[in-house]
Amino acid sequence: MPERPYRRRKHVTVVSLLLLVLAMALGPAPSSAAGTDWWTPTARPTPDSQINVTGEPFKGTNAKGEVRGFVDAHDHLFSNEAFGGRLICGKVFSDAGIAEALKDCPEHYPDGTLAIFDYITNGGDGKHDPVGWPTFKDWPRHNSVTHQQNYYAWVERAWRGGQRVLVNDLVTNGVICSVYFFKDRSCDEMTSIRLQAKLTYDLQAYIDKMYGGTGKGWFRIVTDSAQAREVIKQGKLAVILGVETSEPFGCKQILDISQCSKADIDAGLDELYALGVRSMFLCHKFDNALCGVRFDSGSLGTAINVGQFLSTGTFWKTEKCTGPQHDNPINGASAAKAEDDLPAGVDVPSYAADAQCNVRGLTDLGEYAVRGMMKRKMMLEIDHMSVKATGRVLDIFESASYPGVISSHSWMDMNWTERVYGLGGFITQYMHGSEGFSAEAKRTDALRDKYGVGYGFGTDMNGVGGWPAPRGADAPNKVTYPFKSVDGGSLIDRQTTGQQTWDLNTDGAAHYGLVPDWIEDVRLVGGQDVVDDLFRGAETYLDTWGASERHQAGVNLAKGAPATASSTEWSLFTSYAPGRAADGTRDTRWASGWSDDQWLRIDLGSTNLVKRVTLDWERAYGEAYRIELSTDGVNWQTAWTTTSGDGGLDTAQLTGTPARYVRIHGVDRGTDWGYSLYEVGVYSS
């Protein structure tokens, strides 16, 4: 079992202890300009939220030179600017101060009657006390989905409690914006994404100003893994920009017709990269021109299926799954408010219980976007992709040995956990309650040990998802305040903002500032091992990112090489000659005669070390086949074999064998047709 590093607090000098005691005794106000500790701002606004953490944030690396700290790989700092700007109420920060930032949407006054999205998603009448600062009687709460949870000082508290990586997913949905009753801006998705990116940089400048100037604050936006490592070594928070939206680059589809082009995808990826975006989803909630989605369940799923129809002109379509992976079930739950938006005579279809897979996978445009992200060394988020789309993405990444795959909030099929780890990807779990989170962490613990990786969480704050409920004041192993941070260097007490003090035991995870409290609850319920894995998260996340940046596309030794075959399918209209599987394009293919025991042979021209062979099958694929190698074209050895081929893109990892000739030898067909390959790739790496 790999060693689980755990940092012990460094010895401090007597002088440092005296200074700490003196500081605690004097108790300077949060807005004090006299503070000398690097982690304490000299110009915090007043009034403002308290942080309620004492002690210096840890810096540096462990004995192995690894960074440490928790990773939130899925948060939405500025979703108050999404969906037309009135779905999430309150701001992350405001130059006018906390009273301006943490106030409710105007239509929620006087009693929350018009908090329509609250009762669409949670039921009830949506009524609540709309007053935020300073009383916070009814929000933020663990089950309130329409109020700001990411106030900057609450994020600061999470950083002080040990978090060192935060992925800010820029998020919106044009259809939700268009059908929601209240809005004050355009519903164009890319316009909202640009605004949220700008505000993230504005937040960095806002915090810098408190600390005396550019680059001095704890909130640091990073655009490469080396920069992130340096930020974390300094004891600060590395912030990465991501994107989670339903129609990136305008790539929606209407009646199954794409509304974007390859040029739109290239321009969109270039723009996002220039904004600092380094990870993104290609589809979210609705099927689009790039990929099919993993369905939502329950009444929310029905509501989103209505949105799918309003956006695309089609409802979700399902089929029986071909493997153990499956999308979320659609159970026919009612969502009357959403269904009222459907045209007269149009109803949400019913779905067979044994058909849980989206018929839509990764489209040709989607594959182009995936390969475009690889070229730009970006990381792809596979949560929300249908299993058919995810399977193809993993096939593509495996064929190129590309590690940049992220599952950030429990939406990936659990059967693919090891496949992601095998690529070098990073996995986190949604911020569930401590019991459920710990149980799932332990289920996959052996795999993390096998691959020597850490773990993470996805809070999805401001993501209308719901967060851990209170376990109760009398719950066993409850959080006892104050408690020590995981590194042992800080003391964390109950968090107070205005007149409200939150206690995880009785309030649950009401806002981002309670992330350290939730981690302590996980420790008490799940044990130190779970938290140790989380503390290794920063290093593993940066390992995935850094490996993606360093990735170099291998040289395909088969491209343009002479090829021969046992047979070739005849066609009056096109050629299916053997060389078509080695011409470097998926627009052509080799096809054999319609019988078993067929082969395709490629001459590499000289002897090379062969370590990897990729096969991009057309619909006529091999169910049982083997890969054979030879140095002279006469004597052959079997280097790889399978009897469970299922088409798509297969990657055979070999031990590394010198060969001039590579032969794909079909034994049993997977269809009534012959064997057909778009492309064969042969690599020495």
Annotated domain spans of the chain? 70-292+360-480+506-550, 563-683
Query: Sorting pLDDT into bands at 50, 70 and 90, what band is 557?
Result: very high
CB 404, CB 373: distance < 8 Å: yes
Asked whether residue 22 carries a pLDDT value surpassing 80, the answer given is no
| Strand stretches in 103-231, DSSP E | 163-172, 219-221
Peptide bond into 658 cis (omega under 30): no
Instruction: With a cut of 70, say whether residue 486 has pLDDT above it.
Output: yes
248 — phi, psi (to 5°)?
Answer: -60, 140
pTM passes above 0.75: yes
Mean model confidence pLDDT for the chain:
92
Average pLDDT over residues 438-466: 96
- Using a 10 angstrom Cβ sphere, with 0-12 exposed, 13-18 middle and 19 or more buried, the burial of residue 64 is exposed
Q: Are 411 and 384 in contact (CB under 8 A)?
A: yes
State mean pLDDT over 101-116: 91
Domain 70-292+360-480+506-550 has CATH 3.20.20.140: yes
Residue 627 · residue 568 · CB < 8 Å: no
Residue 35, pLDDT score: 47
Predicted local distance difference test score (pLDDT) of residue 609: 94
Q: Give how far Cα 273 sits from Cα of 262, 381, 496, 616, Å.
A: 16, 15, 38, 29
pLDDT at 21: 31
pLDDT value of residue 23: 33
Q: Is the pLDDT of residue 19 over 70?
A: no
pLDDT tens, position by position, 275-328? 999 999 999 999 999 999 999 998 888 989 999 999 999 999 999 998 899 999
200 touches 221 (CB < 8 A): yes
Residues of the chain above pLDDT 70, percent: 94
Among 110-119, 126-135, 165-174, which stretch is predicted with the lowest mean pLDDT? 110-119
pLDDT at 181 over 90: no
Task: Give 571's contacts (C-beta < 8 A, 6+ positions apart).
Answer: none
Whether 26 shows a pLDDT value over 80: the answer reads no
CA distance 604 to 560: 9
Retrieve residue 112's tokens: 């929350």
Rounded-to-integer distance, Cα 403 and Cα 617, Å: 23
Say whether pLDDT at 13 is over 90: no
β-pair partners for 147:
89
Under DSSP, the state recorded for 567 is: -
Compare 384 and 115 and report the one with higher pLDDT.
Answer: 384
Higher-pLDDT residue of 162, 21: 162
Supply 192's token pair. Answer: 């909202």
Domain 563-683 CATH class label: mainly beta
Question: Average pLDDT of 233-256?
Answer: 96
User: Which residue, 283, 388, 382, 410, is CA-closest to 326?
Assistant: 388
pLDDT given for residue 248 in this prediction = 94
Which pLDDT value is given to residue 9?
35
Residues 194-208: what's their mean pLDDT? 98
Collect contacts of 310-313 with beta carbons under 8 A, ≥24 apart: 310/175, 310/178, 310/179, 310/341, 310/342, 311/174, 311/175, 311/246, 311/247, 311/252, 311/286, 312/252, 312/253, 312/254, 312/255, 312/256, 312/286, 312/287, 312/288, 313/254, 313/255
Structure confidence at residue 112 as a pLDDT band (50, 70, 90): confident
Supply the pLDDT for residue 121. 67
Instruction: Output the pLDDT for position 14.
Output: 33
Give me the mean pLDDT over the 18-23 stretch: 31
The mean per-residue pLDDT over the stretch 614-640 comes to 96
CB 340 within 8 A of CB 297: no
For the cut 90, the answer to whether the pLDDT of residue 95 exceeds it is: yes
The residue type found at 562 is P
